[in-house]
């Protein structure tokens, strides 16, 4: 029998959580909310059965808790995504696991990471225009075909998710993990692939100044990707917590800025003019060339928009929540670019995942995963993940095989 954390439809809980988490104090109680109000339950299921020989059963070894998962559990994520999921589903899309079935070119028992996007290939459909271009994360067919609706593994009723002991994955989703790479780093490949994707979304000229808002998993991995894949000049990172700041410096941040007075600190290093409106936050005339928003909070995007020079670019890496004053976007003629998940790219072997695996092999990512929870302690795990920054943790993961 399979043990899984199942997310089920519960309008009451969803709206209650959403209502509370959008208040000021509710925001601070995100962890408590997530673990107590989330429509989540630990269930015993029959083991999933692979549809055909291109699918395999996976035994997740480690499975991360992502910011978007927390967003869902606290009701912060947008209802926009509702139709792109199919209830009930098992969460978990940052997965390192072992295959339990023989696949062409991939023997049973291989250690793999999963590209969670459930695109045309996994749905037994001919490739849509986006998939043809290699922009697999932009696949338009995510609600149809041979699978229930689901933008990713972890949001689809048919595939299961990482927060369980058994799940299914399509051959096209699998990327073998080099043997020397420990599980604790392999579980970071998926978010790192997203970071690589985000960095590849925009042209970054050599010497460009970049602001990374947020130094959680996404922020740090984006910084890593920036340093390894681009010739960006100064990279300034806004970090709320001390350990985040230390790691950001380790990854090559020019300057780490506290969350308070971030705009001021950016002003200091760019020599921009600071403008103080009577209402609302300060902003700059002049500033950074680029910003990566990696918090998924409206405050982060706000800071990014207010810290850019005219004509600058904001990349929204975190799943955005809440409204933002877009006046600077209009007035400063900024570019706002979304970056969702990862793509396989046009050239085989040059996709975001292979790049991420290559980066993860060499990068100093030890200690990013410092807490592994068995599934039955999911409430503690979710609490911990919601307060990870404060508790000195970068990534909280489940070890479903335990307990």
Partner 1 sequence: MGRPGFVLDVDERTPPLLMHEGEGFRLERLPLGSRVIYPPESLPAIVDLEGAIRHALAHPHGSDPLSQLLRRGMRLTIVFDDLSLPLPPMRTPDVRQRVIEQVLEMAATAGVDDVELIAANSLHRRMTPAELKRTVGERVFRAFHPDHLRNHDAEDPGALAHLGTTPHGEDVEINRRAAESDLIVYVNITLTAMNGGSKSVSVGLASYNSLRHHHNVHTLRHSRSFNDPANSAMHHSYDRMADVIGGHVPVFTIETTLNNEPFPAALRFLTRREWEWNLTDQASYLAVKRSNDLATTKLRRRIWQATEAPYGITGVHAGAPSQVHPHTLAAVHRQQLTEVRGQADVAIFGLPYICPYNVNSIMNPILVMSLGLGYFFNLYRGQPIVRQGGVAIFYHSMPHEFHPVHHPSYIDFYELLTETTDPVMLETKYEKQFATDPWYIHLYRNSYAYHGVHPFYMWYWGAHALQHLDDVIFVGGDRSTTGRLGFRAASTLADALELARDTVGGDPQISYLHAPPMVLADVR
Residues within the interface to partner 1 (CB under 8 A) = 261, 264-265, 267-268, 271-274
Closest approach of partner 1 to the CB of residue 273, in Å: 4
> Cα–Cα distance between 55 and 165 in angstroms, integer?
16
Query: CA-CA-CA-CA torsion for 80, 81, 84, 89, nearest 10 degrees?
Result: -140
Closest approach of partner 1 to the CB of residue 317, in Å: 26
Q: Which two tokens stand for residue 181?
A: 């790479």
What interhelical angle do 242-250 and 217-229 show, nearest 10?
A: 10
The residue among 227 and 267 lying less far from partner 1, judged by its C-beta, is 267
Give which of 116, 148, 10 is closest to 72, Cα–Cα. 10
Closest approach of partner 1 to the CB of residue 204, in Å: 24
Closest approach of partner 1 to the CB of residue 265, in Å: 6
The residue among 272 and 397 lying less far from partner 1, judged by its C-beta, is 272
> Cα–Cα distance between 250 and 237 in angstroms, integer?
12
> Cα–Cα distance between 232 and 234 in angstroms, integer?
6
The residue among 223 and 256 lying less far from partner 1, judged by its C-beta, is 256
The residue among 19 and 273 lying less far from partner 1, judged by its C-beta, is 273
Q: Which two tokens stand for residue 248?
A: 């950001």
Closest approach of partner 1 to the CB of residue 76, in Å: 31
Closest approach of partner 1 to the CB of residue 271, in Å: 5
The residue among 249 and 379 lying less far from partner 1, judged by its C-beta, is 249
The residue among 268 and 335 lying less far from partner 1, judged by its C-beta, is 268
């Amino acid at each position: 029998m399979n043990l899984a954390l199942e997310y089920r439809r519960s309008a009451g809980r969803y709206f209650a959580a959403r209502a509370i988490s959008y208040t000021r104090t509710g925001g601070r109680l995100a962890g408590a909310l997530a673990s107590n109000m989330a429509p989540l339950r630990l269930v015993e299921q029959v083991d999933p059965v692979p549809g055909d020989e291109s699918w395999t059963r996976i035994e997740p070894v480690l499975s991360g808790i992502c910011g978007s998962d927390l967003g869902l559990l606290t009701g912060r994520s947008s209802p926009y995504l509702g139709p792109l999921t199919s209830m009930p589903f098992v969460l978990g899309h940052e997965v390192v696991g072992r295959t339990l079935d023989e696949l062409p070119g991939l023997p049973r028992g291989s250690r793999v990471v999963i590209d969670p996007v459930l695109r045309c290939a996994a749905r037994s459909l001919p490739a849509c225009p986006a998939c043809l271009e290699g922009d697999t994360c932009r696949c338009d067919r995510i609600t149809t075909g041979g699978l229930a609706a689901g933008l990713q593994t972890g949001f689809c009723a048919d595939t299961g998710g990482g927060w369980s002991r058994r799940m299914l994955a399509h051959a096209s989703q699998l990327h073998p993990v080099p043997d020397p790479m420990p599980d604790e780093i392999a579980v970071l490949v998926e978010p790192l692939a997203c970071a690589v994707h985000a960095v590849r979304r925009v042209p970054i000229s050599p010497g460009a100044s970049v602001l990374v808002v947020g130094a959680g998993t996404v922020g740090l991995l984006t910084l890593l990707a920036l340093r390894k894949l681009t010739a960006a000049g100064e990279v300034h990172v806004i970090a709320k917590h001390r350990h985040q700041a230390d790691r950001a410096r380790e990854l090559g941040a020019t300057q780490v800025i506290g969350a308070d007075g971030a705009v001021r600190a950016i002003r200091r290093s760019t020599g921009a003019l600071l403008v103080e409106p009577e209402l609302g936050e300060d902003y700059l005339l002049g500033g950074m060339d680029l910003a990566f928003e990696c918090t998924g909070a409206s405050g982060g995007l706000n800071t990014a928009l207010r810290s850019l020079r005219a004509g600058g670019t904001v990349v929204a890496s975190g799943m955005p929540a809440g409204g933002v004053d877009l006046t600077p976007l209009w007035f400063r003629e900024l570019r706002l670019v979304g970056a969702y998940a990862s793509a396989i790219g046009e050239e085989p072997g040059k996709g975001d995942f292979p790049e991420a695996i290559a980066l993860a092999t060499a990068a100093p990512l030890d200690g990013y995963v410092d807490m592994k929870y068995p599934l039955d302690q999911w409430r503690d795990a979710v609490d911990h993940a919601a307060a990870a920054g404060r508790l000195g943790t970068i990534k909280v993961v489940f070890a479903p095989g335990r307990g």
